[in-house]
Amino acid sequence: MDVTWLNCAFMEPRGAKQFLPDMAISPSICLLVSRGCDHVLIDTGIGTLDCEDPMRLGFSNHILNARPERAKPAVVQVREMGIDPSAVRNIICTHLDRDHAGGLGDFPEARVHVLATEREAALHPADHREKDRYRPCHFSHGPLWVTHETAPGDRWFGLDCIRGIEGLGDEIVLVPLPGHTRGHCGVAVDAGDGSWVFHVGDAFYSREELAGSYNAGYGLRLFRRLAHLDHALAMRQLDSLNAVLDRSEGRVTLICAHDSKELSLARG
Ligand SMILES: [Zn+2]
């Protein structure tokens, strides 16, 4: 399995330079997992229509400040790699926030894997916070949803998981990590030789959060209180991720979506 890192958004959150310097420039990291001519996209970033009309990203984009003119949608990057976008037959979304699901419409033939609770939240938001974060325009093309629920007893490095998904094989495992959103989940990819790449979406924003689960600067503490739907649950997931790192003894590489330092490291 080849794993290619893509950056499918360019955001300059307002005030971040002063209060949250680590996120002054935020990517939206997506992964393209390739097995021969079969390709799976993990998250989509923002899409081509968002780049043409940033108002599609909603009111909160005034804070996130996505800069479409500096972003390259996943579908463009896939084409540049010489891959026909229709060969991306499966997409997995860690969650359906605007900066992760905006590109779904660029792959209308792909099956879209997501936790059932996340699709429910996105299509039937319960309150103003959910209404703002999910954008109906990102789903108006009618995605080919495939929803998943945790099967009791299935575990990945001690966490509940969903594996053996049709079209994804045993090498891609969904790991529910609710908190940031109702149905937020991580996606683990078997990178061979017992090692795994684990994309955890917005479960954390900066490595310093893992260095002591609740440890973070003032700006980041404030930001995640605003960003996480269930802050206390999201904080407990940091403990889960640290437990995975302990149990895996160096075999798991964690990736969060918006850490520009990790993206630079991965790209050398
Ligand atoms: Zn995000």
CB 219 within 8 A of CB 19: yes
**Å from CA of 186 to ligand 1 middle:** 13
The pLDDT assigned to 178 comes to: 97
DSSP 36: T
With a cut of 70, list the residues of the chain below it in pLDDT.
213-215, 265, 267-268
**Å from CA of 136 to ligand 1 middle:** 17
**Å from CA of 172 to ligand 1 middle:** 21
Q: Which two tokens stand for residue 127?
A: 């309150």
The pLDDT assigned to 214 comes to: 62
**Å from CA of 203 to ligand 1 middle:** 9
How far apart are alpha carbons 81 and 39 in whole angstroms? Answer: 12
**Å from CA of 256 to ligand 1 middle:** 9
**Å from CA of 80 to ligand 1 middle:** 24
**Å from CA of 213 to ligand 1 middle:** 19
| Neighbouring residues of 169: CB distance < 8 A, sequence distance ≥ 6 | 35
The pLDDT assigned to 20 comes to: 79
Sign of the C-alpha dihedral, residues 163, 167, 171, 177? negative
Backbone angles phi, psi at 92, to 5 degrees: -115, 130
The pLDDT assigned to 268 comes to: 58
Residue closest to 32 by CA, chosen among 68, 76, 64: 76
CB 254 within 8 A of CB 241: yes
CB 147 within 8 A of CB 119: yes
How far apart are alpha carbons 193 and 177 in whole angstroms? Answer: 25
**Å from CA of 84 to ligand 1 middle:** 26
The pLDDT assigned to 135 comes to: 95
Helix (H, G, I), strand (E, B) or coil at 86: helix
**Å from CA of 154 to ligand 1 middle:** 27
CB 235 within 8 A of CB 11: no
- In the block, residue with structure tokens 């079969």: 38
Helix (H, G, I), strand (E, B) or coil at 31: strand
